[in-house]
């Protein structure tokens, strides 16, 4: 029997209030849930983005944050960020530095996002990224990102994330 993923409903401080199935939380922006993002940079400062699979229920076919996923029930933010980085990109045991947290709202959902960053020096063509969730990955320069913002290429979540990153940018 396939049981649906359960997610923690939280308050604005991140304190768990209750659990609900993913299908109940997605589609109800009144239910705040926690997610983690990881911004993966190379040594030049280019940002790795993923093109979301057309099968995704949120932002199909859009370029998005390097890594993004739900915080597992009972998991810490850091453990979730490391797990999602390995599950999505195949990068094992990444060194992550916490950047910021914020609430992202859209008509579909409301997320309490915690963002981390890491540097990846390896060959991205060798990464065993999750082809069920991701169609493509590649590094983007800041110029490429700036030129594409607002042109429906990126998810609304990534554009919000990137704006916040620029506001709180920390050197590599």
The ranges assigned to domains in the chain are 6-167
pTM of the model: 0.92
- In this prediction, residue 58 carries a pLDDT of 79
Supply 82's token pair: 């490391």
- In this prediction, residue 172 carries a pLDDT of 44
**Contact by Cβ (8 Å): 84, 38:** yes
How far apart CA 60 and CA 83 sit, in angstroms, is 22
How far apart CA 92 and CA 88 sit, in angstroms, is 10
- In this prediction, residue 86 carries a pLDDT of 95
How far apart CA 32 and CA 16 sit, in angstroms, is 10
pLDDT at 97 over 60: yes
In this predicted model, which residue has the larger pLDDT, 3 or 65? 65
| Domain 6-167 bears CATH identifier 3.90.79.10 | yes
How far apart CA 56 and CA 23 sit, in angstroms, is 13
Q: Mean pLDDT score of the chain, rounded to an integer?
A: 92
In this predicted model, which residue has the larger pLDDT, 34 or 168? 34
- Could you give the residue ranges of the DSSP H alpha helices within the chain? 22-25, 77-89, 142-148, 156-167
Confidence of residue 155 (pLDDT cuts 50, 70, 90): very high
- In this prediction, residue 3 carries a pLDDT of 82
pLDDT at 91 over 80: yes
Confidence of residue 171 (pLDDT cuts 50, 70, 90): low
């Amino acid at each position: 029997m396939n049981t649906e993923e359960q997610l923690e409903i939280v308050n604005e401080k991140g304190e768990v209030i209750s659990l609900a199935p993913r299908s109940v939380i997605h589609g109800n922006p009144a239910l705040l849930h926690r997610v983690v993002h990881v911004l993966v940079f190379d040594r030049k400062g280019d940002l790795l983005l993923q093109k979301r699979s057309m099968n995704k229920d949120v932002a199909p076919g859009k370029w998005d944050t390097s890594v993004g996923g739900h915080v597992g029930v009972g998991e810490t933010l850091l453990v979730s960020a490391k797990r999602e980085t390995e599950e999505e990109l195949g990068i094992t045991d990444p060194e992550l530095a916490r950047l910021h947290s914020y609430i992202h709202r859209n008509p579909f959902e409301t997320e309490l996002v915690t963002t981390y960053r890491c540097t990846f020096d390896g060959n991205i063509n060798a990464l065993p990224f999750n082809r069920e969730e991701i169609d493509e990955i590649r590094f983007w320069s800041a110029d490429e990102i700036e030129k594409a913002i607002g042109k429906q290429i990126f998810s609304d979540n990534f554009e919000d994330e990137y704006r916040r990153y620029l506001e709180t940018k920390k050197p590599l």
